[in-house]
Amino acid sequence: MSEKIRVVVVDDHPLFREGVATIIGNEPDLEVVGLGASADEAIQLAHDLLPDVIFVDVDMPGNGIEAARKITAVYPIVKIIVLTVSETEEHLVSAIKAGAKAYVLKGVAGRELIRILRGVLAGESYVPPALAATLLVEMSKPGVPNGSSDEDLDQLTGREQEILELLSTGLSNKEIGDKLFLTEKTIKHYVTNILQKLQVRNRVEAALLAQKSGWLDNKSTS
């Protein structure tokens, strides 16, 4: 039997924290190994337990984004998911820059939360579709590094370009699959190829590259 995926949940609201822990704990391959209520506790739990994933809140004592930044710097293997009520541009951009792999709003359903968690474990990133455009605009400002060249976009096949275009609108793999009549697993395979060809680390960077190069504008007018 394979080892369970180890998760830590840090939130200063006990009822919410315990609810998230229960949802995660109901999954046979997931295990909540620690609970906390502050940034300091998040950092300490990362040090003591080295979990696979830590959930943090933005507004918890000590600042969840600062905790994410410190954990990412010292324990890059630990994946950070921000779970918050905040829809502000400042918090969203700061969280991603701090190393968070996902930015999730607290109104999310339990099933969707588990899907996002599994996506992060598989190397994906997540931003709510309604906030994706905000993030791309902010990250496109001068001074934000670009890890690839425009020529790399020309290496994509027609299908990969189609998927990148949909990905850039903030759609999940399942939603892209539904539009193209392909399975979620197939879309995941395509996305992996796209990230490799573009030499980027995640979906957000791929969408950012497509936007900064003007490639999306060209697609919409072609």
pLDDT of residue 128: 80
- Rounded to 10 degrees, the C-alpha dihedral 16/124/102/113 comes to -20
CA–CA gap between residue 215 and residue 18 (Å, rounded): 45
Q: What is the mean pLDDT of the chain?
A: 84
First-to-last C-alpha distance (Å) of the chain = 52
Q: Give the mean model confidence (pLDDT) for residues 124-133.
A: 76
**Tens digit of each residue's pLDDT (9 = 90 or more) over 2-38:** 688 999 999 999 999 999 999 999 999 999 999 999 9
Q: Give the mean model confidence (pLDDT) for residues 105-110.
A: 92
pLDDT of residue 219: 55
- Within 10 angstroms of residue 34's Cβ, the number of other Cβ atoms is 19
2-16, 124-138, 181-195, 208-222: which has the minimum mean pLDDT?
Answer: 208-222
Q: Which residue has the tokens 């990412």?
A: 72
DSSP letter at 150? G
77 versus 21: which is more confidently predicted?
A: 21
pLDDT of residue 199: 77
pLDDT of residue 216: 59
Q: Does domain 138-217 have CATH number 1.10.10.10?
A: yes
Give the up-direction half-sphere exposure of residue 131: CA atoms within 13 A in the CB hemisphere.
Answer: 18
Q: How confident is the model at residue 135 (pLDDT cuts 50, 70, 90)?
A: low
Tell me the domain boundaries of the chain.
5-126, 138-217
State the pTM of this model: 0.66
Check whether 73 has a pLDDT greater than 80: yes
Q: Does domain 5-126 have CATH number 3.40.50.2300?
A: yes
CA–CA gap between residue 131 and residue 129 (Å, rounded): 5
